[in-house]
Structure formats: structure tokens, C-alpha cells
């Protein structure tokens, strides 16, 4: 039987609890440092106050596979297998969720997944119009009309041929 010492409980903003192996949770820098601060305490619950359960589940899924693949392919081939998994992983996540996920991953300070999600978002907004990007991220256009016209004029060609959606 696995020792309970190797487990930690992550609590989402809704109060949902996820029991996770330490090997998985230690990839989240924030969890790692919280546990280090409370060393010796029997309480192994870490509250992630602002992360919703669906993102906690995604992040756990990613690092669970990350840890498993790393163990299984210790002798090589880990990176290719991880890439394959990352592709499947991203296919399940809708574009709006990517935004929530990147914020959650940034908060939890999980570098490997952070790079994956940033790249996925960049890929999603590839060839999209400036207007689409503003809407996607909820950014308010803070340029004046003159400034914007000037900016567009600078690289007019870069604005041609973008996708409509």
C-alpha cells in the first residue's frame, strides 16, 4: 500500500479536493513551496483559492502523464512521447479554456505546461486579426484613432490576408 506521505490534496476554488502523488504535485512550484513551508505538519492540503476544479484536473492530468512517460522512457524517447501526449491533451481543451488554463498554470508556476499552453494560444491567434485578438483576450484598445492608423500604416502588409474568424 502506498504511504499517505506521498500524497497531497489540492483543493480547488469550489472546494473540490484532488488527491495527487507528490511526484506529480512537486511540478507545481507553488505547491512545492507551500509544503516546504509547512514541513512537519500532518496537514497535506493545499488550497488553490483561485483555480477552478476543471483547471486543477487538467493540470494534474498533464503532469501525471508527464511523470509516467518520464519513468517509462527513461532510456530515451521521452520527448517524442511527451509531444504526442501534449497534442492529444490540447485537442480536448477548447480555445476559451486555454486562457483560463494559462492563467492557472502561471499562478501555480508550472514551467513545462506553461510553455505548452503559451505556444498553443500563439498558434490559435496565428493569422487572426487584431480585432479578434482583442476580443479573445478581452483587451480594450487604448490607442487613439490617429495612433492606430499610424501603426497600421507602418506594417500595412502584415494586416493583409488574415483569417476572418
x/- mask, another protein, residues 18-47, rule CB under 8 A, reads ------------------------------
x/- mask, another protein, residues 57-96, rule CB under 8 A, reads ----------------------------------------
CA distance linking residue 140 with residue 113, whole number of Å? 28
Least gap, CB of 158 to another protein (angstroms): 4
Verify binding: residue 16, another protein, rule CB under 8 A: no
Verify binding: residue 5, another protein, rule CB under 8 A: no
Residue number with CB closer to another protein (76 or 161): 161
CA distance linking residue 35 with residue 51, whole number of Å? 18
Q: Which residues bind another protein (CB under 8 A)?
A: 13, 49-52, 55, 99-100, 102-104, 106-107, 114, 118-119, 121-123, 125-127, 130, 133-134, 137-143, 148, 151-152, 155, 157-162
Amino acid at each position: 500500500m502506498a504511504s499517505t506521505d506521498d500524497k497531497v490534496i489540492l483543493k480547488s476554488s469550489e472546494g473540490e479536493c484532488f488527491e495527487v502523488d507528490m511526484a506529480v504535485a512537486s511540478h507545481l512550484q507553488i505547491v512545492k513551496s507551500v509544503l516546504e513551508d509547512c514541513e512537519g505538519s500532518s496537514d497535506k492540503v493545499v488550497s488553490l483559492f483561485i483555480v477552478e476544479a476543471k483547471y486543477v484536473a487538467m493540470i494534474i492530468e498533464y503532469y501525471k502523464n508527464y511523470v509516467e512517460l518520464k519513468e517509462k522512457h527513461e532510456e530515451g524517447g521521452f520527448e517524442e512521447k511527451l509531444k504526442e501526449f501534449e497534442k492529444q491533451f490540447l485537442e480536448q481543451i477548447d480555445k476559451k479554456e486555454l486562457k483560463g488554463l494559462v492563467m492557472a498554470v502561471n499562478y501555480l508556476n508550472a514551467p513545462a505546461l506553461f510553455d505548452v499552453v503559451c505556444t498553443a494560444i500563439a498558434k490559435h491567434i496565428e493569422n487572426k486579426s487584431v480585432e479578434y485578438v482583442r476580443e479573445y483576450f478581452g483587451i480594450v484598445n487604448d490607442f487613439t484613432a490617429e495612433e492606430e492608423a499610424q501603426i497600421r500604416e507602418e506594417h500595412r502588409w502584415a494586416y493583409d490576408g488574415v483569417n476572418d474568424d
